[in-house]
Chains A and B, each alone.
Chain A
Amino acid sequence: MGRKRRVRILIVDDEPAIREVMRLILKNYEVVEASNGIEALKKCEEFKPDLILMDIMMPRMNGIEATKAILEKFPDAKIVAVTAYATHKGKEMLEAGAVDILEKPFGRKKLEELVESLVSDKEKKSKKGKK
């Protein structure tokens, strides 16, 4: 923590206030935003994020459809479902390929820890790869 990482995180949520607080909390990462599934797909192609925090209920393309579409193009993408419907919709997101669920309303600590654990997994893997 504290040191600027070059890890890229894509926040996909149609609620601007959620995107803003997430961006403020994850200030040590490079953050990209999208407000729906279609935009998320475009941003994935453009920025190749290391982690995607994906809301479920969004206009145009919801989180489940977006997860499927992203994983089809980028099978290694790491997607976390961010939802108020952890039991019902969360299960559908896991089936679609999400690696974890972050239940709303979440606190700062929970978000930081989740991102940290998933990002460090990636860092470990990439270090192993370099060896």
Chain B
Amino acid sequence: MNARADEILRSLPLILIITDSKLRITGCSKEAERLFQKREEKLRGQNITSILLFDGEATKQQVFIAEGMKGDGQKVVLECRCAPIADGFVFACRDVTKEIAEIGELQSYKQFFFRSGDILFRFGRVDINPSFCNILGYTMGDLINAAFQQLIYPEDLQKAIDEISKVLKGESTKFELRLLSKDGCILWFEVVAWPWMEDSVPAGVEGILRDITERKSRELELERRAKKLEVLNRVLRHDLSNYLTALRNYTELVREEAKTEYFERMDDIISRAIELINEIRSAEEVEKAEQLKPVNLSEVLVKEIDGIRGPNVSITAVVPENIIVLANEMLHVVFSNILRNAIIHNDKEEKKIWVTVSREDGWVEVRIADNGPGIPDEFKEEIFKEGFKGEKTGRTGLGLYLVKTLMERYGGGVAVEDNEPEGSVFVLKLKEV
């Protein structure tokens, strides 16, 4: 190479390295000296692979990536082009260390976006990670065709619109939202959203949706239990206050006049207070009851019927054997309450009860009829409500409230109808297993 060409080569603002056919360095540009921190004289004669790590076959490719070793041992990534010349090769390289690092970083963010278990989204230019589909069961194709409003549980739509409007005005927000999965289930999400800014101008909404369905159902269950306990506490306090007021005053009256009828009244009040405490205990057990399981309805019902037999009580029962329903160990509370009511609230001398059990389309229907005074239409739904009070007795009956609570938990139902020619019929429906 003549001196003039050599000077031009050395001065080019490119990382150039020239080798002989055995890849021994014969010359390089000043830019190469700067990068490898070695003078040309030092490099000359060294194999190029001592400063540039690459597969020997790479020279057959037009462009390849190689790892360069600087004088201080630091590594650089170089994009190299290799061209054969008369007696060797010329390597033209470009330092792509920074670009590669940036691509790596981008890939890492991409991985974060795609792998996140939470839903990450950006609306404006719609972008959503696969978790959305994984959690809610939609395909990306479904989402392209769907209006986002269709995915929101209707009751929460206005809230979602209000919150997103806030974000579009530049505020960040955090709220809870129910979305509908493809199979129609309602899932709870915690939404954290903030404005997506492009050149300092709000361009849309970015955020995270975290599936909190499990946590929410635990919270709702706790709330439900707290509400039930509040009801039980109120009933206990109210009815016990009444009983204690009556007892306290009868005691004072007895001091003045020891009438037998006062003692009888006191006995009656004490029995009712004990009954109330038993009912509260039942209610607690209902709350703690186990998960649903197959239960032999026939056995439970027959046992309860036998338990209420007595003088002046006539029971006609048709209960087929081994009917299995979905319930739990508290099923006896349902039957004992209805059967006891049929006797307690019956003003007839001969208290008659008819029990029938039938099966249809996977359901079991139990009908318990009596010849009592019947239940007026205006109370047919009221009697199952918490805190319903009997007009004659004045006490808060928890029994039917427990019946309804249990039947709902079993996925069944309870209703009351008029019996012909008199009395009422309690109709219970349970799922057959």
Question: Which residues on A are within 8 Å of B, measured CB to CB?
Answer: 13-18, 20-22, 24-25, 35-36, 57-60, 84-85, 104-108, 111
Chain A, Cβ-Cβ closest to B390: A59
Given contacts A17-B242, A20-B265, A107-B249, 8 further A-B contacts (CB under 8 A): A17-B394, A25-B253, A59-B390, A84-B241, A84-B242, A105-B242, A106-B245, A111-B249
Q: A15 to B268: give the CA distance in the assembly, Å.
A: 13
How many angstroms from the CA of A57 to the CA of B390 in the assembled complex? Answer: 12
Most buried by B among A15, A24, A35, A104: A15
Which among B237, B238, B391, B395 is the interface contact of A36 at CB below 8 angstroms?
B391
Chosen A-B contacts, 13 in total, with CB atoms closer than 8 Å, are: A14-B394, A18-B242, A18-B246, A20-B246, A21-B249, A21-B253, A24-B249, A35-B391, A59-B389, A59-B390, A105-B242, A105-B245, A107-B248
- The answer to whether B226 has its CB under 8 Å from any CB of chain A is no
B393 within 8 A of A: yes
A24 and B253 contact, Cβ closer than 8 Å, known pairs A57-B389, A84-B241, A104-B242: yes
Picked from B252, B265, B393, the residue with its CB within 8 Å of the CB of A108 is: B252
Is the C-beta of B388 less than 8 angstroms from some C-beta in chain A? yes
Contacts of A14 in B (CB 8 A): 389, 391, 394
> Closest CB of chain B to A54's CB: distance in Å?
14
**In the bound complex, what is the Cα–Cα distance between A22 and B250 (angstroms)?**
10
- Complex CA gap A111/B245 in Å reads 11
B261 to chain A minimum Cβ distance, whole angstroms, is 10
Whether the pair A18, B389 counts as a contact (CB closer than 8 A) is no
Q: Which one of B243, B248, B388 lies within 8 Å of A59 (CB-CB)?
A: B388
Does B391 lie within 8 Å of A60, measured CB to CB? yes
How many angstroms between the C-alpha atoms of A3 and B241 in the bound complex? 31
Interface residue B269 (Cβ < 8 Å from any Cβ of A): yes
For B341-366 the 0/1 string (1 means CB < 8 A from A) is 00000000000000000000000000
Q: How large is the interface on B (under 10, 10 to 19, 20 to 34, 35 or more residues)?
A: 20 to 34
B391 and A59 form a contact (CB under 8 A): yes
Q: Kindly provide the distance from the CB of B317 to the nearest chain A CB, expressed in whole angstroms.
A: 32
Q: Name the distance in Å between A87's Cβ and chain B's nearest Cβ.
A: 12
Which residues of A sit under 8 angstroms from B106, Cβ to Cβ?
none
Q: Any chain A CB within 8 A of the CB of B244?
A: yes
> Which of B237, B241, B242, B249 has a CB less than 8 Å from the CB of A25?
B249
> Interface SS of chain B: helix, strand, loop or mixed?
helix
CB distance from B142 to the nearest CB of A (A): 52
Task: Return the chain B residue nearest A111 by Cβ.
Answer: B249
Q: A20 contacts which chain B residues (CB < 8 A)?
A: 246, 265
Determine if B265 and A17 form an interchain contact, defined as CB atoms under 8 angstroms apart.
Answer: yes
Taking the closest CB of chain A, its distance from the CB of B256, in whole angstroms, is 9
Bound Cα distance from A13 to B246, whole angstroms: 12
Contact (Cβ within 8 A) A15 B237: no
Complex formed: what's the CA distance from A107 to B238 in Å? 16
On whether the beta carbons of B249 and A84 are closer than 8 Å, the reply is no
Smallest CB–CB gap between A62 and chain B, Å? 10
Q: Which of B249, B250, B387 has the most CB of A within 10 A?
A: B249
Q: Which 3 interchain pairs have the tightest Cβ spacing?
A: A84-B241, A14-B394, A15-B394
Residues of B within 8 A of A15 (CB): 242, 246, 394-395
With A21-B249, A59-B389, A107-B248 known to touch, is A35 a contact of B242 (CB < 8 Å)? no
B249 touches A108 (CB 8 A): yes
B391, A21: Cβ atoms closer than 8 Å: no
Q: B248: shortest Cβ distance to chain A, in Å?
A: 6
B248 touches A105 (CB 8 A): yes
Expressed in whole angstroms, the Cα–Cα distance for A64 and B391 within the complex equals: 18
Cβ contacts under 8 Å, B268 to chain A: 17
B-chain residues with CB within 8 Å of residue A36 when the two chains form the complex: 391
- Whether A18 and B388, one on each chain, are in contact in the complex, defined by CB atoms closer than 8 angstroms, is no
A17 B243 Cβ-Cβ under 8 A: yes
Is B242 a contact partner of A21 (Cβ separation < 8 A)? no
Query: Nearest-CB distance from A11 to chain B (Å)?
Result: 12
- Docked pose: A64 CA to B286 CA in angstroms: 33
Q: Once bound together, how far apart are the Cα atoms of A35 and B394, in whole Å?
A: 8
- CB contacts (< 8 Å) of B394 on chain A: these are 13-18, 35, 58
A102 to chain B, nearest CB (A): 10
Task: Check if B238 sits within 8 Å of A84, measured CB to CB.
Answer: yes
